[in-house]
Amino acid sequence: MQPDNLHIDTNTTALIVTDIQYDFLPGGALAVEHGDAILDGVAKLMTSGPFRIIVGTQDWHPEGHISFASQHTGIEPFDTLTIHGHEETAWPDHCIQNTRGAELVSDLPWVRVAAIIRKGMDRQADSYSVFRNNWDASGERPRTGLAGYLRERGITTVVLCGLARDVCVFWSAQDAIEAGFATVLAWDLTRAVQPDQDARNRQTLADQGVTIVESKQIFAT
C-alpha cells in the first residue's frame, strides 16, 4: 500500500527505531551497506516527527549464540542453518552483550525513547522481530510483550525505521500487522543486508498490508 496522502494521528502512533547499533554500521561486525546514511533522517523523525511514543530495539546476544556461524562446524556467515526445524541465516558474531558493537549509536536522541526492547537474548533462539522471537526449542515464537505495552499506551499505528530492511525491520513489520497494528514503513530510513531483494520484499510487505512511504510523507501529515 502506497498512499498519496498519509494521515498519522499523533495520539495513537508510535515510532519504532530498529537496531541502530554500531555493529550494523559500516565497519561493524555485520555492517549494512550505507547504514549510516539513515542517521540524520532518523534523528529528525525522533525529534520532530508526529509521535507520542518512541520505542527503540537493541540486538543483545550472549556469547556463543546459536545464530552465529562460529558455533557450527563447516558453516560460514550468511550460509543457511536449520534451527529448531526452521531455516535461518548464520551470522557473523555480532551485537554481543556489553560490547561496543552492541551499543545504540550515540548520534541519535535516545532521550526521547520511552522503552528499549532487547532481543536475541536467548542463546538457543534468534530474534529478528521486535514483537516475537524466532522459533525456540518448543516450536513457538514467544512474544516480547511490546504489543501489549503499546496497546496499554493507546497505540494503534506503528511506524518502523532502522536496520536492517530485509531482516529485523521486515519481520517486525509483518508481526505488527499480525498483531493488529496499522503499520507504516519509512522506506528511505532503512537499509538492507541484501538490497538485491528489495523489490521482492517491498512487494511482500505491501501485499500483507504494510503502508510503505518516504519519510517526507510522514512530516507532511
Q: What is the pLDDT of residues 173-216, one digit of tens each?
A: 999 999 999 999 999 999 999 999 999 999 999 999 999 999 99
- The answer as to whether 19 is a domain residue is yes
- The answer as to whether 66 is a domain residue is no
- The answer as to whether 67 is a domain residue is no
Calpha distance 140→130 (Å, rounded): 15
197 is in which domain, residue-wise? 10-61+98-219
Catalytic residue selected from 59, 166, 168, 175:
168
- Whether the per-residue pLDDT at 131 is higher than 60: the answer is yes
pLDDT in tens, 135-184: 787 878 888 899 999 999 999 999 999 999 999 999 999 999 999 999 99
Catalytic residue selected from 59, 95, 119, 166:
119
Domain count across the chain = 1
95 classed as catalytic: no
Tracing cell 510503505 back to the chain, one arrives at: 212
Confidence of residue 1 (pLDDT cuts 50, 70, 90): very low
CA separation (Å) from 169 to 71, 75, 99, 131, 172? 25, 25, 23, 11, 5
Calpha distance 221→209 (Å, rounded): 20
Ranges of H-type helices in the chain: 39-48, 146-152, 168-178, 198-207, 215-219
Burial class from Cβ neighbours inside 10 Å (0-12, 13-18, 19+) for residue 111 reads exposed
Q: Is the Cβ–Cβ distance between 6 and 220 less than 8 Å?
A: yes
- The answer as to whether 89 is a domain residue is no
pLDDT in tens, 8-17: 899 999 999 9
161 classed as catalytic: no
Would you state the pLDDT for residue 126?
86
The enclosing domain of 22 has a CATH number of 3.40.50.850
44 classed as catalytic: no
Cβ atoms within 10 Å, residue 194? 15
Phi then psi for 147, rounded to 5 degrees?
Answer: -60, -45
Would you state the pLDDT for residue 136?
80
- The answer as to whether 88 is a domain residue is no
What is the number of residues in the chain?
Answer: 221
- The answer as to whether 2 is a domain residue is no
- Whether the per-residue pLDDT at 61 is higher than 90: the answer is yes
Note the pTM of the prediction, 2 decimals: 0.94
- The answer as to whether 127 is a domain residue is yes
Catalytic residue selected from 19, 36, 93, 126:
19
For residues 111 and 143, the model is more confident at 111
Q: Is the Cβ–Cβ distance between 218 and 8 less than 8 Å?
A: yes
Cβ neighbours of residue 82 closer than 8 Å, sequence gap 6 or more: 88
- Helix, coil or strand: residue 100: helix
- The answer as to whether 172 is a domain residue is yes
Calpha distance 92→117 (Å, rounded): 22
Mean pLDDT of the chain: 94
Q: Is the Cβ–Cβ distance between 23 and 175 less than 8 Å?
A: no
